[in-house]
Structure 1
Amino acid sequence: MPQLAPLNWILLFSLFWVCLFVVMSINWWFSLTHYSGLDESEVEESSKGNSWLW
């Protein structure tokens, strides 16, 4: 293995952990379950029957 300057080892070490953190964050983000209180049909019905005069 070629010898690297200490700064290069630090950069490689940081790059490894940043990549690991990004992959874990993406994995966590796409595994989230998004809950919705209303179905799409209920949302349309509730918007039609709005009696507020905004």
Structure 2
Amino acid sequence: MSILTIILSIILPPLAVFLNKGLGKDFLINLILTLIFWLPGVIHALYVNNK
């Protein structure tokens, strides 16, 4: 995981997931989590990008 991916995961979690996985279920899950509350979106983005 690069520094850019970590920074994007913290600032814009859906963008980080989109750049890594593309449009799919991971992106939609992250978008919903980010819209509900920012922190679960960050945790999910870090998890997906680290996996």
Query: TM-score, normalised to structure 1's length?
Result: 0.27
Would you tell me which structure has more helix in proportion to its own residues?
A: 2
The structure that has the greater radius of gyration is 1
TM-score under structure 2 normalisation? 0.29
